[in-house]
Chain A
Amino acid sequence: MTEPARRLLLLLFLMLAGLGYSYAQVRYERPVDTAPQPQTIGGGYSVPEVQKPLPRRQWLQVLDVGVLALALGLSVWLVISKRSRRWAQFLTIGSLAYFGFYREGCICPVGSIQNVAVALTDPHYSIPIVVTATFFLPIGVAMFYGRAFCGGVCALGAMQELVVLKPIQVPRRLDQALGLLKYAYLGIAIWQAIQPFAAREFLICRFDPFVGFFRRDGFAHMLYVGAAFLIVGMFVGRPYCRYLCPYGGLLAWASRLSKRGVTITPDKELDCGLCTEACPYGAIDKMRAIRKDCLYCARCYSSCPRTNEAALVQIGAPR
């Protein structure tokens, strides 16, 4: 064979090999340019509906606000009028079940601070009416009765309320100093939220220590932080609420205006100081309840000999 012929043969061979390779996969070409219609498809075919799961229905959201209002009312009534720790505890458990595990911690007034802040500053951002109601209801109640929300309603609070085991009394100066942290957090959270859209951060929700438990799903590091809060919370009553919760800060301000609240009644007291010892939150100072710190748990009432006949006999107090 001559040299050119050999080259031609090699070329032919290579081309054939290439063809063989390309035949190993489908030579794909889009078969249609428009979607076939039912009449083309035939056989009584009808186009199926594309399923679109709806977000939570409107009336259920209104129900959430209703449950919130009801729980706030119950919290005030059970603690202020009934002075019943037992029933307040039932309310706490109920709220944890509903707002925590059923609603999975969303929406909550604590996080809604940021949305309200954004909606007030960004002309293109709006919040649904239910969020507005969720944010303002507990503040409105706090203006008249104190932090009833923190006691039996807030799911984050309920989580910690139920693990209080052997609370120590945090020295007052330290307690007050740590309490300022929540105002700093409030300021930072609002500042981060009102940034332009691209730089916006929702710190309160991102670093919510308990939402992972409610959803039974979440980032591992936040679940560890939540577990740490619960373990510390066994010995220091409700650390997140007292030192970090930004909404607690707002409610503390609102509760300064309140007319009624948990009160250690002058003239009726025995000066025994049992209530001060019973309060895990350092909210009783010199035999008086501090409204901005009171978390509506009713432990003081349940420890009071005036409401507890057995204790009255024990300390031999005049009836």
Chain B
Amino acid sequence: MADTPTRRDLIGTLSRGAAFLTLSGTAGYLVQKAQGQIVWQVDAIKCVNSRIGDTATEACSLCTTACVVTQSAVRAVNDFANCGRCNICPAYYNIKSAVDPATGLPSEKRCPRDAITRKPIGLADPQDPANNFYEYVIDENKCDGCGKCVMGCKEPMGLGSVRLMVRHGLCVDCNRCAISISCPKDAIERKVVSEALTLQKVEHAEK
């Protein structure tokens, strides 16, 4: 008696089979739809801090305040290839501050966390520092993506080489990024990894 399948066993097997088929069908559909890994990224062309033509003068710091991670996963990134390497860098210095008479440079820095370092590069002339090129490197550990330097470097002040980017080593991949909810320009988007890592060029007008 125990060995012969009962009606109960049959129903059990049938329903298990049906459920299994349904689930594998659903899984198959999802797999065929898969596009590879998708991550959050800031669209520099939409971001208020980097988009050209936006009249806002105060940097938007929602990336810093809205992120669920205490020190936001967003960082300011300097795209070195497009950096003007200016002596008076509008992202590094607050160009509206008073001039320091000793150096002839603005007395205040823009970064509230002092995350940017400035050093002369190339054929530096110690006698004429104003004529040198400078490299500006942002310290990832200090930066929290407040966007002040990004706003500073924007056309027409700078070349727009600094922009905000989500750092994927820090981002916890929330299903719905808290920054994207609060971003007024919908500049935080889901992107395929390869696309998310490409530095967008924020075009500036030719003079």
Which A residues have a C-beta under 8 Å from some C-beta of B?
24-26, 28, 30-36, 38, 40-43, 45, 47-48, 50-55, 58, 61, 104, 106-107, 111, 114-116, 119-120, 126-129, 132-133, 136, 139-140, 143-144, 200-202, 205-206, 215, 217-219, 254, 257, 259
Contact = CB atoms under 8 A, between A and B. Distances in A.
B168 interface: yes
Interface of B: 12, 15-16, 19-20, 23, 26-27, 29-31, 33-39, 68-70, 77-88, 90, 95-99, 104-106, 121-124, 133, 135, 137, 140, 156-159, 161, 165, 167-176, 193, 197, 199, 206-207
A50 B78 contact: yes
- How would you classify the secondary structure of chain B's contact residues: helix, strand, loop or mixed? loop
Contact of B157 (A30, A41, A45): A30
13 contacts: A24-B98, A25-B97, A28-B157, A31-B84, A41-B122, A48-B135, A48-B137, A50-B80, A50-B81, A54-B168, A127-B33, A136-B26, A201-B176
A30 B204 CA distance: 13
A107 B141 CA distance: 25
A1 to B, nearest CB: 35
B175 A111 contact: yes
B85 A215 contact: no
Contact of B37 (A128, A132, A143, A205): A128
Nearest to B193: A55
A254 B168 contact: no
B34 A35 contact: no
Given A33-B207, A126-B35, A140-B23, 10 more contacts: A30-B84, A31-B86, A32-B84, A33-B206, A48-B135, A53-B168, A143-B16, A143-B19, A202-B175, A257-B15
Nearest to B24: A136
A136 B27 CA distance: 7
Nearest to A112: B175
Contacts of B156: 30
B34 A128 contact: yes
A257 B19 contact: yes
A50 B75 CA distance: 12
B70 A51 contact: no
Contacts of A25: 95-99, 106
A172 B101 CA distance: 81
A304 B167 CA distance: 53
A32 B159 contact: yes
B88 A45 contact: no
B139 to A, nearest CB: 11
Contact of A28 (B34, B88, B161): B88
Given A53-B170, A126-B34, A219-B68, A47 B80 contact: yes
A112 to B, nearest CB: 9
Nearest to B197: A52
